[in-house]
Amino acid sequence: MDEIGILLDTTRLIVGALILAYASYTDIKIRKASNMLWVVMGSIGTILLIIQYLTIGFDNIFYLVFIPVMIGIMYVLFQLRLIFGGADAKAIMALAILVPLEPSILEFPLLNSMMPFSWIIFSNSVVLFLLLPLSLFAYNLSRRNVEFPYCFLGYRMSIKTAQKRFVWPLEKIVDGKRKFSYMPKDFDVEDEWKVFEKKGIYEIWVTPKVPFMIPLLAGFIFSFIFGDILFYLMNLVI
């Protein structure tokens, strides 16, 4: 690809990474990401597409059809509660405009794919999110805190600290005994903390409320470097 194409794709990488990084930061701190971020991302994406059309054109303009297709898919997934949150859905919609075509920066991405690039980002993000249990297990193993199934889902934390963090208890008291419980309803959490304290239990297993924005950021950068990991694995199997 010529210098203009490399410059446009590099701009897409920088813009996307910066906006997703800031969204991840605010999502961790206050569990919100401003809608203005996606307006800015989509607007910059539109400008870059216009510049590309007027300068070097598109190798396969058919892929631009997937911009509204991806936006529609994300809307349906959000309405069906099959995606993690409104900000995540809006982020992927904006990414569909920012990076509809597979980028090409020097020799990257390493693995080429026939899929729309916004879908590649989404699928890679889901794969990375599903690897979280292995990360948690490695963390607990390093602390010699291995108790199944808790060690794959969270870590031990004091009740006082947990009340100040974005976590769910992985345990609950049932008939006076500690039982496994995965992701209780938010309105039950405060009551759960009080029950443990009344029982004289001051440290329990908790699971972090990991915003999908974080694996989305990782998936975005991963896609620019490595490409479509699912497409690659499917080709290996076939």
Write out pLDDT tens, residues 140-167.
Answer: 999 999 999 999 999 999 999 988 888 8
Distance set, CA 223 to CA 83, 105, 176, 180, 188 (Å): 19, 12, 49, 36, 38
User: Was domain 3-130+211-237 assigned CATH 1.20.120.1220?
Assistant: yes
Q: Is 138 left (phi over 0), alpha (psi -120 to 50) or beta?
A: alpha
Q: What is the pTM of this model?
A: 0.84
Write out pLDDT tens, residues 110-142.
Answer: 988 888 899 999 999 999 998 999 999 999 999
| Domain map (residue ranges) of the chain | 3-130+211-237, 132-208
- DSSP-derived secondary structure for 70-133: HHHHHHHHHHTT-SS-HHHHHHHHHHHHH--S---BTTBSSB--SS-HHHHHHHHHHHHHHTHH
How many helices (H) and strands (E) in the chain? 11, 5
Mean pLDDT, the chain, rounded, equals 89
Write out pLDDT tens, residues 62-118.
Answer: 888 999 999 999 999 888 877 677 899 999 999 999 999 999 998 899 988 888 899
